[in-house]
Each structure stands twice: as C-alpha cells, then as structure tokens.
C-alpha cells in the first residue's frame, strides 16, 4: 500500500495543476501531428530504455513473471504507440462527408477536436498497460491528462509517476499517487473527459461524479466473461487456450474466462485436458506449481481473502475440487483451481472471480446457454469454442457483450483495429487504436454554406405557395 497522505497536503495541488492543464488544453486544441507524435515517441523511448525497471516493479507488486510483463504490459503499450504513430495523420485529418440533395450547395466536414483536460483512473491488475494505454490515446487526441494509478500496485504506480515526470511537464501530464481519497478529490474537478478502468461498483461512483459537470466518460469495467465449449470444439486446442487465458496474471484479468459452460458430453474430457495443460504449463517437473517462475501471485491480502472465501463457499455448498485449491496466505499464493458441480447460489457463479478459480458448468442445448447469459449482466467478453458456425452465429447475434472471440480467448485485447470495451454493466465507450483516439476527441461537425441565394433562403417567411411546395417536396422526397 502507498503511504496515506492527506489530500490537503501540498503534494496534492489538484486545482493549480488542473488550471495549468486547462491552459495547455487550449494550446493543444490546434496542436500538430508533429507535436503529438514527438510526445508519443518520447514516451516510447522512455519505456524501451526502462524495461528492466518496469519488470522489477511488477515483480515487486505481485511477482508477475518477466515474460508476462513483456507480453501484457510493455508490448501492448509500445504496439499502441506504433499503431498510433502510423495512423495519427489520417485520424486527425478532418473527414469530408457527402452532401444530401436537400443540402446542395453546402459542404460538411467532421473535425476531431481534442476534448480537453482528461482524468485517467486505472486499476492494479495490468497497472502499467491500463494506465499508459489510455494516456497514449489522450496524447494522440491532444488532451493533457491527470492520472490516478492504483494504490494496490505501489511499485508500478510509483514508476509511472517517475516516467511521467521524466517525459512530460506537469502542465501536460501529471500523476497523483495515493488512496481512494485522491480519486475522490480529483473527481470533483470539471474535467472534459474521464477515462476510468476498474470495477462496475466504482464505475457508478465515477459516473455520478462526472454527471455533476456533464463530463463525458469512458468506463472500462469488469464482470463475468463466459467461455462456451460446444460439442464440436477441439478440446485439446480449447483447453490450452483457456488455461493460458485464465491463469496468465494469476487470473487477475478483466477479460479472463470467468466460468466455463461445456456441453455435457464433453465435460470429463475437457477437465482431463485442462488438468493436462495446467501440469504442462506450470509444473512439468511435478515439483509444485508454487515453484513455477511463470505463475504470478494475488495482488494482496484483501483479494487473497476474497478468493479464499469464494473457494470455501463453493466447496461447502457441494462443488467438486477438480484441481488445485492449495493456498498460502503469507505469500499470496493461490493455486490454479478448477471446480465442477457448480450451483447458481455459489459466490463463484454470482460474483466476478478475478482470480485463479475456474468453475465448470455444463449445458445440453445452446439455447439454454444463450438464455443463461442473457439473464445476467452483459459480459465484457464472451468466448465460443467450436466449429458449428450456426451455433457461433447464434451466440454472436442473440447475446450482448463487449467483445466476442471465436476459438480463443483474451487475445482480442492485442488487436489494434478492434474497438475494446464493455456494454452497460461491463462498461461504456471504447478503447484502443482509433477507438481510443475517438474517446478523447469531440467529433465536431462543421458546415460551410455559400454566400447569397441558396435553396434554404427560398424557404424563408412569408411562406408563399412556392415555399410551401418546396417544404412539402422535402417531406415527400428527402
């Protein structure tokens, strides 16, 4: 945990920095491609030169393996910057639009205006990626930003502060470390946009605070993302993908498969395959998964206790422990755990798990799966494994979720051209690539009319027969 500092302390000079950033935002309103690109290149250079520090910080926070840091913290951000640098010119360019017949003589364009001063609040689970990723979009769109990283990942949050100080003056980007009170104080300011990543519960608090100033928001939230394993699935292929997608980052991933819905005819074989991959990925020498250098830890005691509670609750209500279950509080070690015989009243079925517990439920008809998913809040991600295109089409078309992936899981996060985000309880607004740029941009419609007589001047009062005829024909034909 970070030291608790009063928000009255001079360190938290929110409003002075905010008003400086407001001035910056006016200057940046007309910032050029070259200026924005230079900022992004400077940020990328710092990241590339300080990769060891990033790996070290994440190791200190929750023993995140270096390869997972490279793949899920550094690469998504450098890739986001490279993709942005490649496309920013076309994203910034005012977009011409076609002219409807009724508007003949005019010309219209959409300008992508920076929204202004932004607030970025981020979580602890991918603390570098989920803080710097939105910052890339803010900088690309021309918005200065105030950042509040999570208090649960203190080493990474402190490193982000160090990075920001090295790359930007505070009137452009500044970081505020501390507990929830810091977020609460920041949320009182009249930002032009808030980009929040975290839980649906805190998302509601952010949305209420934003409403005070009618600030626009992007909410990247969580929830329960199901993985459907249909009768037609290649179980070996699916199991390998599911085990990696679920247990990377020790299961603390917003888009990790939260629970499995497997066709009843495939349950036993799927469980066998899942166990095989757990052994292969984390304990091929049978020395115990706790010895694996490739398996991270739970972020801290609060989440460790929450997950232990879920496990106890499930087992006490009759769930079968198929694999794992071993835990060690002092080191926040939580073994990858598979559970079957899940009842709907268990916590693991009701709450977002956000940890290394994977409940396995069965189904007999795809329609039942669709009904079950539609009876719950809309998931952030939905995964379908199988080769039955009729069923996969049904799942895509008859359910609602932030994203869908067929025959894989979590990899859509890395696709720069796919808008990433949730829907309702799992979020609103989109992130990544062009969608991220648009999140921080106001799409301003600009219309240019000719001087003198035009078809609209014919419609002015007094409304004679001619004007009335033209208006009637507008209704009839356009």
List residues binding ligand NAD (CB under 6 A): 121-125, 130, 148, 150-151, 180, 183-184, 197-199, 202, 205, 220-222, 254, 352, 354, 380, 422, 427
Q: What b/e string do you get for 444-471 counting C-beta neighbours within 10 Å, with b at 16 or more?
A: eeeeeeeeeeeeeeeeeeeeeeeeeeee
Which CB atom, from 204 or from 365, has the smaller least distance to ligand NAD?
A: 204
Q: How far is the CB of 250 from ligand NAD (least distance, A)?
A: 13
Closest CA to 252 of 103, 80, 106, 58: 58
For 15, the 3-state DSSP assignment is helix
Residue pointed to by tokens 């900022």: 39
Decide the pairing of beta strands 381-385 and 226-229. Answer: parallel
Count each helix (H run) and each strand (E run) in the chain, helices first: 17, 18
Rounded to a whole number of angstroms, the minimum distance from the CB of residue 70 to ligand NAD is 19
In whole angstroms, how far apart are CA 304 and each of 68, 311, 334?
21, 11, 8
CB contact at 8 A, 124 and 299: yes
Closest approach, Cβ 422 to ligand NAD, in A, equals 6
Candidate list 68, 220, 273, 322, residue with the active-site label: 220
Question: Residue with the closest Cβ to ligand NAD?
Answer: 222
Residue 149 or 386 with smaller CB distance to ligand NAD: 149
Q: Is 345 a catalytic residue?
A: no
Q: How far is the CB of 159 from ligand NAD (least distance, A)?
A: 15
Provide Rg for the chain, Cα atoms. 25
- Please, are residues 343 and 349 in contact by the beta-carbon 8 Å criterion? yes
| Catalytic annotation, pick one of 250, 254, 332, 409 | 254
Query: Which one, 121 or 338, has the nearer CB to ligand NAD?
Result: 121
For the bound state, the minimum distance from the C-beta of residue 373 to ligand NAD, rounded and expressed in Å, comes to 17
**In the annotation, is 332 catalytic?**
no
Question: Could you give the angle at which helices 129-141 and 154-167 cross, rounded to 10 degrees?
Answer: 30
Nearest to 334 by CA among 361, 351, 312, 316: 312
Which residue is associated with the tokens 């079925």?
349
Do 124 and 251 meet the contact criterion of CB atoms below 8 Å apart? Answer: no
Based on CB atoms, which residue is closest to ligand NAD, 202 or 406? Answer: 202
| 354 versus 384: smaller Cβ distance to ligand NAD | 354
Measured from the CB of residue 223, what is the shortest distance to ligand NAD in angstroms?
7
CB of 253 to ligand NAD, least distance (A): 7
Long-range own/partner contacts, residues 363-367 (CB < 8 A, 24 or more apart): 363/228, 363/261, 363/262, 363/263, 363/264, 364/263, 364/264, 366/228, 366/230, 366/391, 366/394, 366/395
Here the tokens at position 159 are 């490193």
Indicate which residues carry an active-site annotation: 220, 254
């Amino acid at each position: 945990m970070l030291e608790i500092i009063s928000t009255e302390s001079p360190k938290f000079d929110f409003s002075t920095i905010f008003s400086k950033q407001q001035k910056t935002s006016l200057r940046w309103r007309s910032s050029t491609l070259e200026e924005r690109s230079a900022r992004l290149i400077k940020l990328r250079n710092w990241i590339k030169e300080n990769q060891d520090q990033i790996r070290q910080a994440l190791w200190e926070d929750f023993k995140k393996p270096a390869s997972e840091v490279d793949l899920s913290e550094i690469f998504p951000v450098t890739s986001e910057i490279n993709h942005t640098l490649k496309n920013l010119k076309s994203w910034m360019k005012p977009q011409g639009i076609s002219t409807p017949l009724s508007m003949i003589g005019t010309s219209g364009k959409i300008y992508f205006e920076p929204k202004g001063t932004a607030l970025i609040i981020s979580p602890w689970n991918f603390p570098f990626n989920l803080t710097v990723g939105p910052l890339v979009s803010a900088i690309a769109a021309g918005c200065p930003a105030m950042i509040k990283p999570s208090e649960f990942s203190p080493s990474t949050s402190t490193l982000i502060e160090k990075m920001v100080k090295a790359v930007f003056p505070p009137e452009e980007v500044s970081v505020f470390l501390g507990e929830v009170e810091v977020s609460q104080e920041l949320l009182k300011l009249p930002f032009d946009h808030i980009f929040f990543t975290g839980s649906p519960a805190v998302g509601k608090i952010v949305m209420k605070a934003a409403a005070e100033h009618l600030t626009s928001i992007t909410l990247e939230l969580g929830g329960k993302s199901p993985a459907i394993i249909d009768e037609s699935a290649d179980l070996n292929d699916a199991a390998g993908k599911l085990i990696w997608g679920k247990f990377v980052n020790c299961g603390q991933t917003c888009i990790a498969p939260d629970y499995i819905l497997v066709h009843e005819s495939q349950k036993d074989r799927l469980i066998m395959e899942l166990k095989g991959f757990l052994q292969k990925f984390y304990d091929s020498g049978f020395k115990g998964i706790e010895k694996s250098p490739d398996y991270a830890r739970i972020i801290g005691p609060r989440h460790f206790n929450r997950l232990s509670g879920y496990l106890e609750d499930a087992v006490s209500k009759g769930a079968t422990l198929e694999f794992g279950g071993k835990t060690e509080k002092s080191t926040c070690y939580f073994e990858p755990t598979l559970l079957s015989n899940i009842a709907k009243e268990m916590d693991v079925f009701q709450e977002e798990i956000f940890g290394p517990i994977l409940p396995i439920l069965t189904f007999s008809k795809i329609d039942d799966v669709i009904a079950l998913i539609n009876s719950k809040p809309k998931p952030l991600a939905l995964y379908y494994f199988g080769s039955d295109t009729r069923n996969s089409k049904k799942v895509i078309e008859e359910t609602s979720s932030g994203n869908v992936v067929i025959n894989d899981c979590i990899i859509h996060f890395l696709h720069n051209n796919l808008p990433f985000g949730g829907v309702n309880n799992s979020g609103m607004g989109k992130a990544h690539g062009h969608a991220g740029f648009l999140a921080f941009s106001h799409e301003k419609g600009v219309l240019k009319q000719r001087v003198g007589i035009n078809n609209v001047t014919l419609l002015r009062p007094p409304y004679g027969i001619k004007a009335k005829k033209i208006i009637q024909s507008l209704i009839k034909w356009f």
